[in-house]
């Protein structure tokens, strides 16, 4: 067979149009030929699509070359047979070196050079190097020309949606199974841990070690351990049918130590105040389950620390573990004592500052009071000279009032009757003037000498006494005019 050496390329068949990929959904634009090869069902659908467009030879050639590369070089007969089949079927004028070839003229010449010429290509076994070079030409052609058509087809999109639904369902089933397995494993692990922890608390040696361990983890956790042990002993008394007096005494002891302690806080374990109140209400019920709710609550809190204690106890021997726990406990208690001492010192300092501030305020108030008293004394000394002047002023006013009355009533009656002009004087107006005079005098006295109240009252009384004749004479004058 004569292979063509000079072949005109067919650009119409060598389509490298990015516009084809624009029709593909964004989620599928990353697909390549190897992506389809990882999905056996889809590679079959891709082959069917190519057959419908008379282009299946491209994929068939690529797949046959892929299988040929996997044949071991020691199997020479098999490789020779497969090589002869590939050359006759694909490397001829009907496909690779023909008008419908995916390779350009230059690419065809390069393949002939790599194969060693036309004669060697026909007679010798095809090397893997040549097979790979041919695949590198066919694969881009498939990806750029036929894969966009396949990926944008309605059938492919629908199949992908169905696969996604199935995948979600399978993932949900797998997740559900995993959750069930994890729950079962957790329940088994929790039940085993609870039994081990219960046995550890009933063992005095392990219980003491765990008590030292939790003492540095929280303020009331050490009391939780003691409370759980004491409640367990109380339940043993109930189950052993001990006397009611002993059982009642045990209940009172537990309540006074942990539930209603005289030392603050009253609740010395990690339970709520409602739980403590219910225990106090039921303290007369002589049964083994009075403290059941509180015992479960503290047991749950302590169980959270049990795994870490197990790790610590496994890593250290008993001879090293006990001194280590005791040392940590001693350091923790020393730290708490130091903190409390600092808090007490701080409270004392604040109290001292408050006392000093109060004393300072009291001293300021006392100094202000002394200053006011000294000012009052100086004012009294200044006003002590005022009574004589005020008395003389009242005397002058009394004299003027008497003169005014005498001038009015010394007029003859005839002269009063002759003049028909209205009277300019009236009793009410006269009394108003007198009242105004008294108010002016009183206000002047209060402003000038507030401390000399006795002398002011005498002055006012003397003035009122001086006004009595004037009022009587005024009444006589009014009667005469009415006649």
Is residue 346 in some structural domain? Answer: no
Domain count, the chain: 3
Q: What's the confidence (pLDDT) of residue 451?
A: 53
Identity of the highest mean pLDDT range in 1-10, 61-70, 357-366, 398-407: 61-70
pLDDT at 338 over 70: yes
**In 10 A of CB 99, how many CB atoms?**
13
Domain that holds residue 397: 389-482
Task: Please measure the distance between the N-terminal and C-terminal CA atoms of the chain and give it in whole angstroms.
Answer: 177
Is residue 335 in some structural domain? Answer: no
DSSP conformation letters of 159-173: HHHHHHHHHHHHHHH
Is residue 269 in some structural domain? Answer: yes
Question: CA–CA separation, 5 vs 28, rounded Å?
Answer: 39
Q: Provide the b/e sequence for 455-472 (b: ≥16 CB within 10 Å).
A: bbeebeeebeebbeebee
Query: Within this chain, do residues 141 and 212 fall inside the same structural domain, yes or no?
Result: no
Look up the CATH number of the domain holding residue 241. Answer: 1.10.167.10
Could you tell me if 383 and 377 are in contact, meaning their C-beta atoms sit under 8 angstroms apart?
Answer: no
Is residue 408 in some structural domain? Answer: yes
Instruction: Give the pLDDT band (50/70/90) at residue 209.
Output: very high
Predicted model pTM? 0.39
Query: Within this chain, do residues 117 and 208 fall inside the same structural domain, yes or no?
Result: no
Query: Within this chain, do residues 229 and 300 fall inside the same structural domain, yes or no?
Result: yes
Query: Within this chain, do residues 142 and 229 fall inside the same structural domain, yes or no?
Result: no
Identity of the highest mean pLDDT range in 111-125, 165-179, 455-469: 111-125
Q: What's the confidence (pLDDT) of residue 359?
A: 85
Domain end (from 300, 315, 330) = 315
Is residue 333 in some structural domain? Answer: no
Query: Within this chain, do residues 214 and 131 fall inside the same structural domain, yes or no?
Result: no
Query: Within this chain, do residues 24 and 142 fall inside the same structural domain, yes or no?
Result: yes
Query: Within this chain, do residues 124 and 216 fall inside the same structural domain, yes or no?
Result: no
Is residue 7 in some structural domain? Answer: no
| pLDDT tens digits along 13-46 | 344 455 778 888 888 888 888 888 888 888 888 8
Query: Within this chain, do residues 25 and 135 fall inside the same structural domain, yes or no?
Result: yes
Over residues 311-318, the mean pLDDT reads 87
Q: What's the confidence (pLDDT) of residue 186?
A: 54
Query: Within this chain, do residues 22 and 146 fall inside the same structural domain, yes or no?
Result: yes
Question: CA–CA separation, 62 vs 50, rounded Å?
Answer: 13
Domain end (from 315, 339, 367) = 315
Query: Within this chain, do residues 146 and 209 fall inside the same structural domain, yes or no?
Result: no
Question: CA–CA separation, 60 vs 4, rounded Å?
Answer: 22
Domain end (from 261, 292, 315) = 315
Query: Within this chain, do residues 306 and 397 fall inside the same structural domain, yes or no?
Result: no
Question: CA–CA separation, 294 vs 292, rounded Å?
Answer: 6
Is residue 267 in some structural domain? Answer: yes
Is residue 370 in some structural domain? Answer: no
């Amino acid at each position: 067979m004569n292979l063509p050496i000079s072949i005109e390329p067919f650009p119409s068949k060598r389509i490298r149009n990015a516009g084809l990929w624009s029709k593909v959904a964004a989620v599928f634009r990353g697909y390549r030929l190897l992506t389809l090869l990882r999905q056996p069902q889809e590679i079959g659908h891709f082959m069917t699509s190519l057959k419908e467009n008379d282009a299946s030879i491209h994929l068939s050639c690529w797949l046959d070359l892929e299988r040929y590369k996997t044949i071991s070089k020691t199997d020479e007969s098999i490789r020779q047979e497969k090589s002869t089949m590939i050359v006759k079927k694909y490397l001829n004028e009907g496909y690779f070196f023909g008008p419908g070839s995916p390779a350009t003229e230059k690419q065809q010449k390069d393949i002939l050079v790599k194969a060693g010429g036309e004669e060697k290509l026909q007679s010798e076994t095809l090397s893997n190097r040549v097979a790979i070079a041919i695949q590198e030409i066919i694969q881009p052609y498939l990806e750029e020309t036929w894969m966009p058509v396949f990926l944008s087809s309605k059938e492919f999109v629908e199949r992908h949606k169905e696969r996604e639904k199935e995948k979600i369902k399978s993932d949900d089933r797998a997740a559900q199974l995993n959750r069930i397995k994890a729950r079962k494993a957790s329940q088994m692990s929790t039940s085993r841990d609870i039994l081990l922890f219960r046995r550890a608390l009933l063992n005095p040696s392990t219980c003491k070690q765990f008590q030292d361990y939790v003492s540095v983890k929280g303020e009331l956790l050490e009391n939780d351990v003691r409370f759980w042990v004491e409640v367990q002993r109380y339940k043993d008394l109930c189950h052993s049918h001990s006397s009611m007096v002993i059982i009642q005494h045990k209940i009172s002891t537990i309540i006074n130590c942990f539930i209603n302690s005289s030392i603050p806080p009253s609740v010395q374990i990690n339970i709520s105040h409602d739980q403590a109140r219910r225990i106090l209400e039921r303290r007369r019920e002589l049964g083994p389950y009075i403290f059941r709710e509180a015992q479960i609550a503290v047991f749950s809190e302590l169980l959270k620390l049990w795994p870490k204690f197990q790790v610590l106890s496994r890593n250290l021997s008993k001879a090293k573990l006990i001194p280590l726990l005791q040392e940590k406990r001693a350091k923790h208690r020393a730290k708490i004592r130091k903190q409390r001492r600092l808090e007490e010192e701080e409270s004392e300092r604040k109290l001292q500052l408050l006392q000093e501030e109060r004393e300072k305020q009291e001293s300021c108030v006392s100094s202000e009071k002394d200053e006011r008293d000294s000012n009052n004394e100086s004012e009294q000394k200044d006003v002590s000279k005022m009574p004589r002047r005020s008395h003389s002023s009242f005397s002058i006013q009394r004299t003027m009032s008497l003169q005014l009355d005498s001038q009015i009533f010394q007029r003859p009656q005839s002269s009063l009757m002759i003049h028909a002009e209205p009277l300019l004087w009236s009793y009410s107006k006269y009394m108003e003037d007198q009242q105004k005079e008294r108010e002016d005098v009183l206000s002047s006295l209060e402003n000038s000498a507030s401390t000399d109240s006795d002398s002011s009252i005498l002055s006012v009384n003397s003035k009122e006494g001086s006004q009595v004749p004037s009022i009587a004479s005024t009444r006589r004058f009014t009667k005469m005019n009415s006649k």
